[in-house]
Amino acid sequence: MGLRKTNKSSPQNPVHFKQMVKRCSNFGKRCDVPKGHFAVYVGENRSRYIVPITFLGCPEFQNLLLRAEEEFGFEHHAGLTIPCDEQEFCSLISVIR
């Protein structure tokens, strides 16, 4: 699957990711997310995971965000949804940590 070029700021730009996370993290105004973290929804059942913002600098996590942008865009109102199954996500997170 090739990457498509968009008019948006470069997806590798950390500012772009921070803006996207800020937009999506306000969904539902949940207060259980600690400072320095954000929530993502993963898998068929949309299981909720809290991940540290430092993950935004990891190329593997950035690839997941690119997949999310390609599949869902950033204008949807369903929270930041990562398009992979939970097992794949948990494996990736264990490698990043």
- Residue 1 confidence (pLDDT) above 50: no
Phi, psi of 20 (to 5 degrees): -65, -45
Banded model confidence at residue 79, pLDDT cuts 50, 70, 90 = confident
Higher-pLDDT residue of 89, 3: 89
- In the three-class reduction of DSSP (H, G, I as helix; E, B as strand; rest coil), residue 45 is classed as coil
R_g of the chain computed on alpha carbons:
13
Q: What is the DSSP letter of 61?
A: H
Structure tokens at 58: 């990891």
pLDDT tens profile 2-34:
323 333 444 455 555 555 555 554 544 556 889
What distance in Å separates the CA atoms of residue 12 and residue 65, rounded to the nearest whole number? 10
pLDDT tens profile 39-72:
999 999 999 999 999 999 999 999 999 999 998 8
Residue 6: C-alpha distances to residues 42, 50, 66, 70 (Å)? 25, 28, 12, 10
In the prediction, which pLDDT does 52 show? Answer: 94
Domain boundaries, the chain: 34-96
Phi, psi of 33 (to 5 degrees): -95, 115
